[in-house]
Amino acid sequence: MLTNVEIQKIIPHRYPFLLVDKVLELEPGKRAVAIKNVSVNEPFFQGHFPGFPIMPGVLIVEALAQTAGIAANADTEGGAKLGVFASIDEMKFKRQVVPGDILRLEVEILSMKMGIVKAKVKATVEDKVAAEGEIRFAMTAVKK
């Protein structure tokens, strides 16, 4: 299991855009399972939507991508690398995610070739699928 502090050693995301709270399972280069505790205090809920807060689908995909980045980056040396989106394929949204939900983020790395990572991703709440599909991203060094 990885804590939030340990996650920040693997990927460069920081508040308010770090969307992974804890990693429950990790097989570097292969798979990861993480969680995002969805709180009403998230800044995006102010406008999405007043009186009817729903986590934006794009942020669910981002949380999945960050989890995939952790899986792809966990055993590399030389500091955190940034995963930059290349494609999102056949992403389906099947359930709304609202404050109080615990979003379970599951990723399986399908391939890592020439710096391009392809992953099968799924987000669930209480064992019900909220979103699933495939993503691709390019790993790039973070400039300081």
Per-residue pLDDT of the chain (144 residues; tens, 9 = 90+): 999 999 999 998 999 999 999 999 999 999 999 999 999 999 999 999 999 999 999 999 999 999 999 999 887 665 567 889 999 999 999 999 999 999 999 999 999 999 899 999 999 999 999 999 999 999 988 765
Report yes or no on whether pTM surpasses 0.75: yes
**Catalytic residue flag (residue 48):** yes
pLDDT of residue 74: 81
Could you tell me whether strands 116-125 and 81-93 are parallel, antiparallel, or unpaired per DSSP bridges? unpaired
pLDDT of residue 81: 75
What distance in Å separates the CA atoms of residue 75 and residue 61, rounded to the nearest whole number? 23
CA-angle at 124, arms to 6 and 105, nearest 5°: 20
DSSP symbol at 97: -
How many domains in the chain?
Answer: 1
Q: Residue 27 sits in a domain of what CATH number?
A: 3.10.129.10
pLDDT of residue 86: 95
Choose, from 22, 30, 31, 48, the residue flagged as catalytic. Answer: 48
DSSP symbol at 38: -
What distance in Å separates the CA atoms of residue 22 and residue 140, rounded to the nearest whole number? 23
The CB density around residue 5, as the number of other CB atoms within 10 Å, is: 7
pLDDT of residue 78: 54
Q: Which region, left, alpha or beta, applies to residue 134 given φ > 0 means left and ψ of -120 to 50 means alpha?
A: beta
Give the range of the structural domain holding residue 30, as residue numbers without chain letter: 4-141
Residues ≥6 apart with Cβ < 8 Å to 77: none
What distance in Å separates the CA atoms of residue 58 and residue 110, rounded to the nearest whole number? 21
